[in-house]
Amino acid sequence: MSTSPEVIIVGAGLAGACAALELSRTREVLVIDAVGAAAGASGAAAGLVNPFMGRKARPVWQLEDALTAVRATIARAEADDLFDGRGVLRPVVEDGQAKVFRERAAEFSDHLTFLSAEAVAAQYPAVAAPAGALWVRTGGAVMVPSFVQRVLDAAARRGATVISGQHVSAWRSTETHATVTLDHGEELRAGHVVLAMGYGGIGHPALDALELRGVKGQTLRVRLPAPHTTDQLPPVAGSGYAVPVPTDAAHRTLILGSSYEHHFTTLDPTGAATQQILHKTQRLVPALAEATIRGAVTGVRVYAGQRNLPVLAPLSDAPRVWAFTGLGSKGLLMAPLFARKLRDHLHDPSGVPAALRLKEPS
């Protein structure tokens, strides 16, 4: 390789792609990935844009900025056709949740509406919501694997170079530059290195301080039989989720998810996870009992320690090498926002919010 970029990004998943798009606005960027675009967790995600997550529908960190960054990235990547902007419907699935949802809707009326069971039945007859549902009007869903490729393509149009099939085994930093080493021994030099490796970073001794852990997730691609369609079925999320595929001309294909396996011995899909996903999603959308399974994929979400937010910070022993990882289940909402912060603070890490930095060694 003869390139000498200003920034080398290791990883071509959602984090790496968003970082490439933002950094390529003002810098020469090289993206290196061992497999290819969205080969890990990004390749399995349905891509919910749900800014009110969890059982209590708590708002995500920097809610308004996160949504703005997602929408801007979709526009820059020319990916509007991959985005289902009908919102996210969150049926009440447990005792006491209706009260919480009503309170959230009153508190965040610019984003949320609580729908009665009758209103859900009238607007979304395919959804089972006998206790009502929270409609996240500013939410939606993006087909993540295709989206990641669009983002990388947009970065390439800005001059970024994307190389697949090369594994980075090591990195180091000096006062003036950073270097990555490929498996075959070649070294590449840049002003900064951004490690957006996802699951590939787990177990690497140089990243032990991040306390990375992986949670395996499985999703299913299914097809509804006629006369069922997804025309009146927005992205739905409860204990599981059902997300229509916006690029399906027949309006019958959905992505269902997801499983959460904290301990796993294989990365292959399993029958147990398939049955778990079907059980959860058929409670939300009964017509899924008639759906045909077209495929199953898995990926490993990465979390950094016990923190609620990902990591965006230079490594303490390699200040020109940044970690951008630990997106967990919030990847689509957090990656565009964090990529903007990386662009703004790459040369001055002091501006990175304290919540995103690595803990100082005790």
Tell me if residue 356 falls in helix, strand or coil. helix
| pLDDT, tens digit (0-9, with 9 covering 90-100), for 103-126 | 999 999 999 999 999 999 999 999
Complete domains list, the chain, with CATH: 7-43+145-212+306-356 (3.50.50.60)
CA distance 122 to 100: 23
DSSP per residue over 255-321, as a string?
A: EEE---BSS-S-SS--HHHHHHHHHHHHHH-GGGGGPEEEEEEEEEEEEETT-SS-EEEEETTEEEE
Burial label, 13 (beta-carbon count in 10 A; 0-12, 13-18, 19+): buried
By the 8 A CB rule, do 178 and 171 touch?
yes
Contacts 24+ apart (CB under 8 A), 3-6: 3/28, 3/30, 3/161, 3/188, 4/189, 4/190, 5/29, 5/30, 5/161, 5/190, 6/190, 6/191, 6/192
Residue 306 is predicted with a pLDDT of 83
Q: State mean pLDDT over 79-93.
A: 96
| pLDDT, tens digit (0-9, with 9 covering 90-100), for 231-276 | 999 999 998 999 999 999 999 999 999 999 999 999 999 999 999 9
Tell me if residue 38 falls in helix, strand or coil. coil
Tell me if residue 104 falls in helix, strand or coil. helix
- Average predicted confidence (pLDDT) for the chain: 93
**Tokens of residue 44, six digits:** 């399995």
Residue 354 is predicted with a pLDDT of 85
Tell me the sheet residues that pair with 83. Answer: 142
Per-residue confidence at 40, pLDDT binned at 50, 70, 90? Answer: confident
Choice between 209 and 16, residue whose per-residue pLDDT is larger: 16
Residue from 328, 341, 60 nearest 198 by CA? 328
pLDDT value at 14 more than 60: yes
Per-residue confidence at 359, pLDDT binned at 50, 70, 90? Answer: low
Residue 286 is predicted with a pLDDT of 96
Strands 48-49 and 140-142: antiparallel
**Greatest alpha-carbon span in the chain:** 64
pTM attached to this predicted model: 0.94
| pLDDT, tens digit (0-9, with 9 covering 90-100), for 171-181 | 999 999 999 99
Tell me the sheet residues that pair with 299. Answer: 217
Q: Where are the alpha helices (DSSP H) in the chain?
A: 14-23, 63-76, 97-107, 117-123, 144-157, 271-284, 331-345
| pLDDT, tens digit (0-9, with 9 covering 90-100), for 45-73 | 878 999 999 999 999 999 999 999 999 99
Residue 72 is predicted with a pLDDT of 97
Residue 263 is predicted with a pLDDT of 94
By the 8 A CB rule, do 61 and 355 touch?
yes
Place of tokens 């920034």: 7
Q: State mean pLDDT over 136-145.
A: 95
Taking phi over 0 as left and psi of -120 to 50 as alpha, with beta for the rest, 14 belongs to alpha
